[in-house]
Amino acid sequence: MKKQLRILYVEDIQADVVLVNHELRKGGLKFRTKRVDARNVFIRELEQHPPDLILSDHGLPGFDGLAALAIAKSKCPNVPFIFVTNSRGKDMAAEMFERGATDYLLKTHLAKLVPSVRRAFREAETRARLKQQEQALHESEDRFRRVVKEIKHYAIFMLDTEGRIATWNEGAERVQGYPAKEVIGKPLATFFPPADIERKVPAAVLRKAEQEGRALSEGWRVRKDGSLFWSQGIITALRDKGGPLRGFATVAHDLTKEKQAEAEIERLNSQLESRVLERTAQLEALNRELQAFSYSVSHDLRAPLRHIVGYVDILQTAAGQTLDATSRQHLQTIARAATQMGQMIDALLELSRLDRAEMRFKRVNLAALVEDVRRELRSEIKGRDIDWQIGDLPEVQGDPLMLRQAIVNLLSNAIKYTRTRPKAKIEIGAKNCGRETTFFVRDNGVGFDMDYADKLFAVFQRFHRSSEFEGTGVGLAIVRRIIHQHGGRTWAEGKSDGGATLYFSIPKPPVAT
């Protein structure tokens, strides 16, 4: 197989091409794919850039897969042609094979694609070898016999016009288990299982070889000792040009190990799929339990918290004048702690609601969103000297309300942690990073130690005392949750007393072709 294959794909749905390419890469193949969905483009590609492999859907709006097969057979008959389609039915599959398709598989069974491709190239290699051997036969049958005798890993034998064994090489004896003296004169059906004989498969293979010049013979075969092996071979009709049939040449290879390996791969894939589904169900159940737990705890904490706040208020009102200064200070501390606890509960509820919120994706103008958020935060920056530097901000695909909340939290964070600066500097920008858009907020505030950067977006993680900077420790966790629900990433850069830059990325929607 070539180091890099040129694949021509007759398909009108780009997403299906992406899935097929992904499956081929998983199988270790190196390739370049050209997608076409029109007859004239398909013909031009065949003539100007001959492919190594053709993949095709069955039905396209303006172009039929069977028509593509007919064109391919006329222009490049030796290039493997594999149907990858959603169309089902034995009759349809039979028609595809009758017209010369190499293989046929469903888009729902793409795990079989790589084995099918490798098998197609093995068959192509076998056909190429057979062509060379046929040429050698025409030049000298004696030379052909000598070559055949030396080949020990392929069963190569001749059949007469009735399908009986006429010659037998050492490779055939090694693969089939019969010495030549025991098998000469026996019919080809000797090596087929009873079920295939009952269905007259041997006769059908010979008939196809006689009519079409050659036929692929693949399936389980029977050795002399009764054991089964998977054989893949080509039966070629031998005749002079335009003359009568003189017999058949058969070249077969024992692919039992490969077949067993394919079966094992299918079994492991099936087990893996089952385990993934099982694990996904477990994770979904665990996630529901965690959501229920978070919601329940948040609500159950509200009742005792209300009692604390209420009775502190009663004490301050009824007995405030009789308490000494230390006792009144203790009551104020309790009241502040209860208020902070309430804020933390509200933040937890907001975080848990994000997992249940329905995503409504649309085009979102980040520039307009940032300006809207800045207007909302005017009360927080009243009297502050802040140098806002806002770059060009693009549109992204996302949920407007969720992205707005993420930007609110990021700007509030920058405003809060630049409070100690005589002149705060807050920069907002975005970068085009290939398949995603990266948004950032940079400030000249108190910053943080990069050794703890991985904890910055975690719940209740605070790097400064609450007496210095208020907050619940949930704001950036909400940002991460929102961005993850958009399929993006969050990260941060900074240094202690040297400012910080907080980033998030949003994937770009796929480009329609």
Q: Which residues, 6+ apart, have CB-to-CB distance to 196 below 8 Å?
A: 202, 219, 220
CATH class of the structural domain 5-114: alpha beta
d(CA 102, CA 77): 11
Q: What is the pLDDT of residue 303?
A: 67
Dihedral angle computed from the Cα positions of residues 170, 204, 119 and 3, in that order, rounded to the nearest 10 degrees: 80
Q: How far apart are CA 34 and CA 204, in angstroms?
A: 37
Q: Which residues of 207-243 are buried (b: 16+ CB within 10 A; e: fewer)?
A: ebbbeeebbbbbbebbeeeeeebbbbbbbbbbeeeee
What class is the 357-513 domain?
alpha beta
Note the pLDDT of residue 316.
75
Averaged pLDDT, 198-205: 92
**265-356, what's its fold?**
Helix Hairpins (1.10.287)
Residue 323: is its pLDDT beyond 80?
no
Q: Which residues on adjacent β-strands are paired with residue 413?
A: none
Percent of the chain with pLDDT over 90: 34
Cα→Cα distances 205→127, 131, 199, Å? 16, 19, 11
Q: What is the pLDDT of residue 267?
A: 85
| Domains 265-356 and 357-513 fall in the same CATH topology | no
pLDDT, one tens digit per residue, over 392-427 is 999 999 988 889 989 998 999 899 889 889 999 999
Cβ 36 vs Cβ 54: under 8 Å: no
* 133 in Cβ contact with 251 (< 8 Å): yes
- CATH H-level, domain 140-254: superfamily: PAS domain (3.30.450.20)
CB-count exposure of residue 56 (10 Å: 0-12, 13-18, 19+): buried
pLDDT digits (tens, 9 = 90+) for 58-102: 877 778 889 999 999 999 998 999 999 887 777 778 888 888 899
Parse the chain into domains and list their residue ranges.
Answer: 5-114, 140-254, 265-356, 357-513
* End-to-end CA separation in angstroms for the chain: 30
